[in-house]
Amino acid sequence: MAMMPEQRRSSTPQIRIALDAMGGDNGPSVVLAGAARVAAKRPDVTFLLFGDSALVEPLLRSHAALAKVATVHHSDVAIKMDDKPSQALRTGRRVSSMWMAVEAVKRGDADVAVSAGNTGALMAMSKVCLRTMPQIDRPAIAALWPTLRGRSIVLDVGATIGADAQHLVDMAIMGAAMASIVLGVPTPSLGLLNVGIEEIKGLEEVKAAGRLLRDAALPHLDYRGFVEGDDLGRGTVDVVVTEGFTGNIALKTAEGTAKQIAQYLRDAMGASLLSKLGYVLARKAFDAMREKMDPRRVNGGVFLGLDGLVIKSHGGTDGLGFAGAIEMGYEMAHHDLLSKIRESLTLAQEIRTPGVSPAAESS
């Protein structure tokens, strides 16, 4: 059933991207629209599409350029957006489009898997199929956060609840590795999310992680201390680390606030003839601003700590947004995020073993 790509451009190394074509609120139509956008832009990408071939193949025929670089791999089972992770594993292990996309990474057939399916199921399958890296106990989800300075990386936005000091330090190392790729800075600045109220001064775990990071003085990470909730939008640091409950609530609170203000703005601009005229005149400025606030520009949660690359797209996104999640996967694979993380973890290990530092060894 698989349609083979008609040609491959062998001049540059190919990035092979596995897509869960059935994931998300809108399924294959959005997934293929997103893939078509990326295919049109990037000659070094091939796609493996996992899903119901009776749905995927007809759609693929309307994306001629994508069809040339994509193979379809039939799957009978689609994980539902409200399936519980345990349920998803029971019904979808080995046979669902989600599992098969992740398994393509495990087998080495793909460099990264992207799914807009439900987060819990995708994380559960990724953990079972790919396993965590040997040094990592619990994976995390890292999100891009638009800021006044540009973009930051925030993790964990909801993989697990609670984190001890070691877990926070692991996240710092992984988040900094990701930031060095996404933001193109060799030594990203990093803060631990905390509360600024003197009396309580934050969780013990956060304080302990702060001490560890300060003492370790890791080479690829510029630890700047605690940051507060309002530092997120300000872009005070390149990477903000927190445990998954708080991170998820912070992310959704920011999304909710942005929507709320956008609604205020719409109401205000429609309030009178003068304001409507003003809106028409300032249209280009509004469009530029809307683009800055567009959540599709920062779509794509990166699963960190697994022995393989998996990207989670927003479930309700459109083709443009899904293309953003694919682009994130492309970037992570192209710059070999996994090797960068492994390197940083090893380096951190050596630094934290008393008496043995890389400096001492190399001198």
Number of H helices, E strands in the chain: 15, 11
SS3 of residue 116 by DSSP? coil
Nearest approach, Cβ of residue 262 and its own copies (Å): 8
Query: Which of 40, 271 has the CB closer to its own copies?
Result: 271
- When asked if residue 258 is in the footprint of its own copies (CB under 8 A), the reply is yes
What is each CA distance from 16 to 8, 9, 26, 62, in whole angstroms? 11, 12, 23, 21
In the complex, the smallest distance separating the C-beta of residue 127 from its own copies, rounded to whole angstroms, is 10
8 Å CB contact between 69 and 122: no
Nearer to its own copies among residue 65 and residue 268 (C-beta):
268
CA distances from 267 to 155, 249, 259, 263, 289 (A): 34, 27, 12, 6, 16
Stretch 91-110 residues interacting with its own copies (CB under 8 A): none
Least distance from its own copies to the Cβ atom of residue 45, Å: 29
Q: What is the DSSP letter of 3?
A: P
Residue 51 Cα to chain centre, angstroms:
22
> Closest separation between CB of residue 56 and its own copies, Å?
26
Distance CA 139, CA 16 (A): 23
Question: What's the sign of the alpha-carbon dihedral 12, 73, 124, 118?
Answer: positive
Q: Are strands 151-155 and 189-193 parallel, antiparallel or unpaired?
A: unpaired
352 neighbors 344 (Cβ within 8 angstroms) = no
Stretch that binds its own copies, among 21-29, 174-182, 214-222, 265-273 (CB under 8 A): 265-273
Residues 64-93 that bind its own copies (CB under 8 A): 82-85
In the list 63, 93, 234, 334, the residue contacting its own copies (rule: CB under 8 A) is 234
Contact 328, 34 (CB under 8 A): no
Among 76, 137, 267, 350, binds its own copies (CB under 8 A): 267
Smaller CB separation from its own copies, 195 or 216? 195
Among 3, 185, 254, 351, binds its own copies (CB under 8 A): 254
If the CB atoms of residues 54 and 200 are measured against its own copies, the closer one turns out to be 200
Q: Which of residues 136-195 bind its own copies (CB under 8 A)?
A: 146-148, 158-162, 193, 195
Q: How many Å apart are CA 202 and CA 217, to the nearest integer?
A: 22
Judge whether 157 and 248 are in contact, CB under 8 Å: yes
Minimum distance of its own copies from residue 182's CB (angstroms): 19
* 60/129 with CB nearer its own copies: 129
- CA dihedral over 199, 201, 205, 211, signed as positive or negative: negative
CA distance 18 to 71: 10
Question: By C-beta, is 64 or 262 nearer to its own copies?
Answer: 262
Judged by CB under 8 A, the residue of 268, 316, 346, 359 near its own copies is 268
Interface residue with its own copies, options 66, 124, 155, 325 (CB under 8 A): 124
Go through the chain and tell me how many residues it has: 363
Site map 189..208 versus its own copies, x via CB under 8 A? ----x-xxxxxx-xx-----
What residues does 96 pair with on adjacent strands? 77
**Among the listed residues 96, 248, 313, 344, the single contact to its own copies using CB under 8 A:** 248
Subset of residues 1 to 60 that bind its own copies, contact rule: CB under 8 A: none
Judged by CB under 8 A, the stretch of 94-102, 210-218, 285-293, 318-326 that binds its own copies is 285-293
* Minimum distance from residue 35 beta carbon to its own copies (Å): 26
